[in-house]
Amino acid sequence: MADTQTSTIGRYLAARLEQIGVKHYFTVPGDYNLVLLDELLSNDNLQMISCCNELNAGYAADGYARATGGAGAVCVTFSVGGLSAINAVAGAYAEDLPVIAISGGPNTNSAAEHELLHHTLGEIDYGYVREMFARVTAESVQVTNVLDAPTQIDHAISTALRLRKPVYLEVASNIASAPISKPHAMALAPRWRSDRRSLAAAVDHAAALLNAAAKPVLVAGVQLRATGGEAAFGALARACGYGVAAMPDAKGFFDETDPQYMGIFWGSVGSPGCGQIVSSADIGLFAGTTFTDYTTVGHSALINPAKMILARPHSVVMPGRTYNDVSLPEFLAALEGKLQPNDASLTAFHRVEEEKPVLAPGKPEDGLTTRILFNRVQQMLDADSAVIAETGDSWFNGMQLDMPQGSRFEIQMQYGSIGWSVGATLGYALGNPDRRVVSLIGDGSFQLTAQEVSTMIRYGVRPIIFLINNGGYTIEVEIHDGPYNTIKNWDYAGLISVFNAADGKGLGLKAETVGELDAAIGKASGHDGPVLIEVTIGRDDCSRNLLEWGGYVARNNSRPPRSI
């Protein structure tokens, strides 16, 4: 009888990653995952991307999942590697991104033979990493039995794709190369479908409320991406003619060049006129929206539930009734043919909307301001651009950008881990090389994860990074200032020479004046490699919206405890 064991556990895993569209995985080697890396390297359709540390590798997998619309993958060593990556995986969980977190694990005999191992807590207990990951993943498993490995791998990957959440797979070091049968054909991401009766009832109820409304509105939320509902939302908007807004963490999910687009609904710091129209609407369909202290300006911009249809990923909440087992994309698609056209909210918006002020281009010798910088960023953008905005003032200035049709805007608003954008830039650029990534990163955030620019140089990706040097953590200054918000200045542009060494093609530039910025952008646009432009901005030069938002968030954070 012919031998059917033509694969190994590691190669099986590689084949499944390839099947779900992964072409790159991000890694830091360690002795527990070296054999596993050998097995992954045997798949010529996957490229290993060696990162500087595990946190950055996890951020890169996050950016990769955003760029591809599929999954990202990171592979680390046991304990010291996994626990370094866990913050990035937690961020992917919060942001609904399917990151496959893979780790090498101890030899299967170590626990039974009562061995103390390096990289551990010094106790005979090797399940603690899996237990920690269980809090920030949808599935967390240890692969220690050869016979169970295919089932565990397939189930974990399928769970990640179905729930759009990370999973953790820990493969014991002594079985990564163990022979098993090759993967069989199967659908790893079965589509989740609605209960037909719940869907029909939810659609009828929502249509009745919306068709009876005088000025209904549509609001796009961040969970549209996780559920694959962006296209259905756009089709529904075009069919009904309502005014359309987007939550700040869903910027770009609806075409900003569409005549129906009103802007960002973000309370008092959103697009002028947009908040007033959304808040005054007699009913609004909020599709995939989440309401946190950040997205509601310290809970100051909440909508009356009696005026809201809240379409969640798997349920629809309406005044007085909740419908469960309803898929968000299916709900939006079914509702499309039920709504009567109504442009009253859009007409009302046009009465109150304000034209954006025309910013003077500035003289070449003028010092730089954030308004000048973002004016120049605006001029760079086209349909193939992807903007990555780091936590901080880049959020608020980024919201003012008018994104061209087809472009993308990425933000980590739910988790807000500073430093995320550097690794995410690497992952995004590899995941979608047809886009030119433009990253907006503050100096404080950059200092956390700067090393990964060297990986961008190593693998030849071509982002343009605007490093905003204003001497500290500006967003924290506006929430609550103190000496801890001031950082040591670096020669940020000079770092690129360090990272280049003898063979790199990175380009580091500095700009302190308008003329220097224009010249730097001109050089960056034609450069075949990553570019970092260090832009010097005054410490107190931040957007007016950050000032207002910071005050509300600070007020929410500092509420005194309730008396018992």
> Does the structure show a pLDDT above 80 at 519?
yes
| Domain stop point among 180, 207, 222 | 180
Roughly what angle, to the nearest 10 degrees, separates helices 420-431 and 80-94? Answer: 80
Same domain, 320 and 376: no
138 and 227 inside one domain: no
Q: Are residues 19 and 72 in the same domain?
A: yes
- 469 in the same domain as 424: yes
| Mean pLDDT computed over 220-238 | 97
170 shares a domain with 218: no
Which two structure tokens, joined as six digits, stand for 380? 């760079």
Where does the pLDDT of residue 1 fall: very low under 50, low under 70, confident under 90, or very high at 90 and above? very low
pLDDT, position 470: 86
Q: In this structure, is residue 478 part of a structural domain?
A: yes
- As a whole number of Å, the CA-based R_g of the chain is 25
Asked whether residue 161 falls in the same domain as residue 21, the answer is yes
Domain-terminating residue out of 307, 323, 352: 352
d(CA 128, CA 170): 12
176 and 204 assigned to the same domain: no
Query: What pLDDT is recorded for position 474?
Result: 59
Residue (of 113, 60, 69, 120) closest to 91 by Cα position? 60
Residue 358 lies in a domain: no
pLDDT over 70 (residue 50): yes
In the block, residue with structure tokens 């596993």? 36
pLDDT for res 403: 97
135-139, 156-160, 368-372, 421-425, range with the lowest pLDDT: 368-372
Question: Angle CA(546)–CA(547)–CA(553) in degrees, nearest 5?
Answer: 80
**23 and 67: one domain?**
yes
We report the CATH number of the domain holding residue 314 as 3.40.50.1220
pLDDT score at 360: 77
Q: Where is the domain boundary, 123, 150, 180?
A: 180
Answer whether residue 559 is part of any domain.
Answer: no
Q: Determine what percent of the chain is predicted with pLDDT higher than 90.
A: 82
pLDDT at residue 480, rounded to an integer: 59
Does 333 share its domain with 451?
A: no
Euclidean distance between CA atoms 198 and 196, whole angstroms: 6
Question: Does any domain span residue 513?
Answer: yes
Model confidence pTM above 0.85: yes
3-class state of residue 143 by DSSP: strand
Query: In which element (H, E) is residue 167 found?
Result: strand 167-172
Examine residue 361 and state whether it is found in any structural domain, yes or no: no
What is the reported pLDDT for 545? 66
Q: 375 in a domain, yes or no?
A: yes
What pLDDT is stored for residue 2 in this prediction? 44
Specify whether 284 is located in the same domain as 422. no
Residue 8: which of 149, 170, 144 has the closest Cα? 149
pLDDT score, position 564:
56
Answer with the residue of higher pLDDT: 348 or 355. Answer: 348
Whether 147 and 205 map to the same domain: the answer is no
| CATH number assigned to the domain comprising residue 96 | 3.40.50.970
| Tally of domains in the chain | 3
Give a yes or no: residue 423 inside a domain.
yes
Residue numbers of the domain that contains 418: 370-552
Convert the pLDDT of each residue in 51-104 to its tens digit: 999 999 999 999 999 999 999 999 999 999 999 999 999 999 999 999 999 999
| 452 domain residue, yes or no | yes
Could you tell me if 421 and 528 lie in one domain? yes
Tokens of 370: 């954030």
Q: Render pLDDT for 483-500 as a digit per residue (tens, 0 to 9).
A: 777 788 999 999 999 999
Q: Give yes or no for a contact between 335 and 506, defined as CB atoms under 8 angstroms apart.
A: no
Structure tokens at 354: 């304000």
